[in-house]
Amino acid sequence: MKSRPSFPAKLPSSGGQSSKPLSPATVMVSPASAGRSAPSSSTAVSSGLGLDSSAVRARMVAKLAEQGVQDPWVLQAMGQVERHRFVETALAGQAYEDTSLPIGLGQTISKPNVVARMIELLRQDATGKLGRVLEIGTGCGYQATVLSQVATEVYSIERLRGLHEKAKKNLLPFRLPNVHLILGDGMLGFSKGAPYAGIISAAGGDEVPLTWLDQLAVGARLVAPIVTASGQQALVVIRRTATGFDRQVLEAVHFVPLKSGIA
Ligand code: SAH
């Protein structure tokens, strides 16, 4: 039997000073502790702007824990980042439901459960924060913001100018100095930040581009959707070892396609 996740017992209780959301006009001090089991709570000063979504977010986090997400860093980050700020106002009411939502230009923001699952896979074995990570497919910037809480640096690349601009606008008020948004073709990875302690793709191709593998540090993992023999997408996790790559194909998923070039 799986051991019970430490959440919620070890996470800051809702309403406490330490559970203030990561929201615009919030000054964030990242967890200083290197311990995996109990990331120290973030000190955040919120202006109290807008919707009080902390209770719905806490419910979402409790559900993620029930669904098997155990990494306290991931749960804490999911509890802090205000997902409703990344979707159109008309969809804000659905922001904490376990559903993907349209973000424009035919693209979607992944379900919270999928975001949490993929980041947990990326962080397997990590004690404390991950180092530099690369995200392919910035979209609206939500996942990049979650990553900014669990990794020291985030490079996130988007091929659609409209979404790259949208993500820049969405992230601006959060003032996250460790997130770098790049307009470019993520099929080529982003060599300037390599080697990465993790690479995560929010778009699925037929195979993982070899450049991603090249840009992975030894011991690091890549998590991405790929199209399998059956024509369905599945999550693949590839870990770079000292001598090669270990590969695991996991559950079925539904992501937008990985495309080349900038548009
Ligand atoms: N992580 C995003 C999810 C966005 S959906 C979020 O939190 O909102 C996946 C994104 O991948 C889309 O915006 C799509 O345009 C982008 N994408 C597809 N192929 C790409 C490529 N080769 N390089 C960069 N981005 C790509």
Q: Is the CB of 236 under 6 A from ligand 1?
A: no
Residue 44 placed within a domain? no
Which residues, at least 6 apart from 197, have a Cβ–Cβ distance to it below 8 Å?
126, 130, 131, 132, 133, 151, 217, 220
Residue 253 placed within a domain? yes
* Ordered strands of the 245-253 beta sheet: 179-183, 151-158, 130-136, 196-201, 216-227, 233-240, 245-253
* Predicted confidence (pLDDT) at residue 46 exceeds the cutoff of 50: no
pLDDT of residue 16: 34
Nearest to 119 by CA among 80, 148, 89: 148
Within its chain, how far is the Cα of 218 from the centroid?
21
* Buried-state track 176-208, b at ≥16 Cβ within 10 A, e below 16: beebbbbbebbbebbeebbbbbbbbbbbbbeeb
Mutate-to-test residue for ligand 1 from 82, 159, 163, 168, highest number of ligand atoms within 8 A of CB:
159
Q: Residues in the chain, how many?
A: 263
Residue 73 placed within a domain? no
Cα gap 29→149, rounded to integer Å? 10
Under DSSP, the state recorded for 22 is: B
Whole-number percent of the chain with pLDDT over 90: 78
Residue 64 placed within a domain? no
* Predicted confidence (pLDDT) at residue 7 exceeds the cutoff of 80: no
* Predicted confidence (pLDDT) at residue 72 exceeds the cutoff of 50: yes
pTM more than 0.85:
yes
Do 163 and 104 form a contact (C-beta atoms < 8 A)? Answer: yes
pLDDT digits (tens, 9 = 90+) for 190-211: 999 999 999 999 999 999 999 9
The reply to whether 260 belongs to the active site is: no
Confidence of residue 35 (pLDDT cuts 50, 70, 90): very low
The structural domain count of the chain equals 1
Residue 71 placed within a domain? no
Looking at 23, 54, 110, 201, which residue is catalytic? 110
Give 203 Cα–ligand 1 centroid separation in angstroms.
Answer: 6
Q: Is the CB of 159 under 6 A from ligand 1?
A: yes
Q: Is the CB of 157 under 6 A from ligand 1?
A: yes
Give 148 Cα–ligand 1 centroid separation in angstroms.
Answer: 17
Residue 45 placed within a domain? no
Q: Is the CB of 109 under 6 A from ligand 1?
A: yes
Give me the CATH number covering residue 160: 3.40.50.150
Pairing of strands 196-201, 130-136: parallel
Cα gap 100→34, rounded to integer Å? 32
Q: Which two tokens stand for residue 158?
A: 């988007």
C-beta contacts of 108-112 below 8 A and 24+ residues apart: 108/139, 108/256, 109/83, 109/139, 109/140, 109/142, 109/143, 110/143, 110/202, 110/255, 112/60, 112/64, 112/78, 112/83
- Tokens 């004690």 — which residue? 127
Cα gap 197→153, rounded to integer Å? 10
- For residue 132, how many other CB atoms are within 10 A of its CB? 20
> What range defines the domain where residue 213 resides?
100-257
* Predicted confidence (pLDDT) at residue 41 exceeds the cutoff of 70: no
Residue 36 placed within a domain? no
pLDDT of residue 23: 73
Residue 190 placed within a domain? yes
Q: Is the dihedral of CA 252, 255, 257, 262 positive or negative?
A: negative
Mean pLDDT of all residues in 144-163: 98
Nearest to 108 by CA among 253, 260, 263: 253
